[in-house]
Amino acid sequence: MREPDEVDRTALQEARERLRSADRAVALTGAGVSAASGVPTFRGEEGLWRDYRPEELATPDAFTEDPVTVWQWYGWRRRTVADRDPNEGHGALARWTLRRPGGRLVTQNVDDLHQRALRAAAGADPIPDHARAVELHGSLFRTLCTGCGRRRESRERIDVSGDDDLPLCGECGELLRPDVVWFGESLPGDALDAAMEAARRAEVCLVAGTSAAVQPAASVASVAADAGAVLIEVNPEPTPLTGRADGVFRSGAETILPALLDDDPPPDGPRVPGS
Ligand code: OAD
Mean per-residue pLDDT for 105-109? 98
Least confident of 18-27, 52-61, 261-270: 261-270
Flag whether pLDDT at 3 surpasses 60.
no
User: Could you tell me if 229 and 202 are in contact, meaning their C-beta atoms sit under 8 angstroms apart?
Assistant: yes
Tens digits of per-residue pLDDT, 166-203?
A: 999 999 999 999 999 999 999 999 999 999 999 999 99
Give the pLDDT of residue 273.
Answer: 46
| Residue with CA closest to ligand 1 atom 32 | 108
Ligand 1 pocket test target in 28, 34, 39, 42 with most atoms within 8 Å of CB = 42
58 CA from centroid of ligand 1 (Å): 15
Tens digits of per-residue pLDDT, 114-149?
A: 999 999 999 988 999 999 999 999 999 999 999 999
User: Could you tell me if 26 and 202 are in contact, meaning their C-beta atoms sit under 8 angstroms apart?
Assistant: yes
Give the pLDDT of residue 7.
Answer: 75
* Geometric angle at alpha carbon 135, from 230 and 154, rounded to 5°: 160
Give the pLDDT of residue 269.
Answer: 63
| Residue with CA closest to ligand 1 atom 2 | 42
Flag whether pLDDT at 264 surpasses 90.
no
Q: Does ligand 1 come within 6 angstroms of the Cβ of 32? A: yes
Cα 169 to Cα 152: distance, rounded to the nearest angstrom: 10
| Residue with CA closest to ligand 1 atom 31 | 214
Counting Cβ atoms within 10 Å, is residue 113 exposed (0-12), middle (13-18) or buried (19+)?
buried
| Residue with CA closest to ligand 1 atom 14 | 32
Give the pLDDT of residue 265.
Answer: 66
Give the pLDDT of residue 9.
Answer: 87
Largest CA-CA distance found in the chain, in angstroms, rounded: 65
Q: Does ligand 1 come within 6 angstroms of the Cβ of 152? A: no
Active site residues: 137
Q: Does ligand 1 come within 6 angstroms of the Cβ of 41? A: yes
| Residue with CA closest to ligand 1 atom 29 | 214
Ligand 1 pocket test target in 43, 185, 254 with most atoms within 8 Å of CB = 43
Global pTM reads 0.93
Flag whether pLDDT at 65 surpasses 70.
yes
86 CA from centroid of ligand 1 (Å): 16
Q: How confident is the model at residue 51 (pLDDT cuts 50, 70, 90)?
A: confident
The secondary structure element, H or E, covering residue 221 is helix 219-226
Least confident of 1-5, 248-252, 269-273: 1-5
Pairing of strands 138-145, 176-180: antiparallel
42 CA from centroid of ligand 1 (Å): 6
Residue 53: CB atoms within 10 A of its CB come to: 12
43 CA from centroid of ligand 1 (Å): 7
Q: Does ligand 1 come within 6 angstroms of the Cβ of 237? A: yes
Strand order in the sheet with 151-153: 151-153, 138-145, 176-180
Give the pLDDT of residue 137.
Answer: 97
Cα 210 to Cα 48: distance, rounded to the nearest angstrom: 17
33 CA from centroid of ligand 1 (Å): 8
